[in-house]
């Protein structure tokens, strides 16, 4: 799957997060073709282990719209969400999830617990993987390589 403007913005957020010393993952919430919120990882900045890009973007979108859920909204994220974020995406009633690279070590959508396939999951978004996966994986690889050098 090729990219689009929303995934491009998520990649920009990922790069910006990396420049701040955060793990370079970015997320964008879109409703009716309009960007409602975008964020990178902010766990270090906020000293908040739950401030993954997806949750940060969902919080911002809910605040912007003044509502608890994001029914009908789509979320673009550069890496397969972890289990915590997969659950938050479900609770927020996100309609479609587009993610870039797969994360066999930490993902919770198509890897690990496969949250949306569980009987305890009451809302599953449509999932589209592989959008801009090469770029998303490259940003992560560059970041972790830089850490080791």
Could you list the residues that contact Zn ion (CB under 5 A)? Answer: 52, 82, 85
Q: Which is nearer to Zn ion, 39 or 135 (CB)?
A: 39
Nearest Cα residue to 3 out of 124, 143, 128, 144? 128
Q: Report the sign of the C-alpha dihedral through residues 127, 51, 72, 87, in that order.
A: positive
**66's torsion region: left (phi>0), alpha (psi -120 to 50) or beta?**
left
Q: Is 54 a catalytic residue?
A: yes
Count CB neighbours of 119 within 10 A.
Answer: 5
Annotated catalytic residue: which of 22, 54, 80, 133? 54
In 3-state terms, what secondary structure has residue 63?
helix
- Tell me whether residue 11 or residue 88 sits nearer to Zn ion (CB atom): 88
Beta carbon of residue 24, minimum distance to Zn ion (angstroms, whole number) = 13
Q: What is the C-alpha separation between 138 and 123, in angstroms, rounded?
A: 31
Tell me how far, at minimum, the Cβ of 83 lies from Zn ion, in Å.
8
Minimum Å gap between C-beta 96 and Zn ion is: 18
Nearer to Zn ion, 7 or 85 (CB): 85
Active site residues: 54
């Amino acid at each position: 799957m090729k990219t689009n403007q929303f995934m491009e913005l998520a990649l920009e957020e990922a790069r910006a997060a990396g420049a701040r010393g955060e793990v370079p993952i970015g997320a964008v919430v879109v409703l009716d073709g309009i960007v409602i919120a975008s964020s990178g990882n902010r766990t270090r900045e906020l000293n908040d282990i739950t401030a993954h890009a997806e949750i940060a973007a969902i919080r911002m979108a809910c605040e912007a719209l003044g509502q608890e859920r994001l029914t009908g909204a789509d979320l673009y994220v550069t890496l397969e969400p972890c289990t915590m974020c997969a659950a938050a995406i479900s609770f927020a009633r996100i309609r479609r999830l587009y993610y870039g690279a797969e994360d066999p070590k930490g993902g919770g959508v198509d890897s690990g617990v496969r949250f949306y396939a569980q009987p305890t999951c009451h809302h599953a978004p449509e999932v589209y993987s592989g959008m801009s996966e090469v770029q998303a994986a490259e940003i992560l690889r560059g970041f972790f390589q830089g850490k080791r050098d």
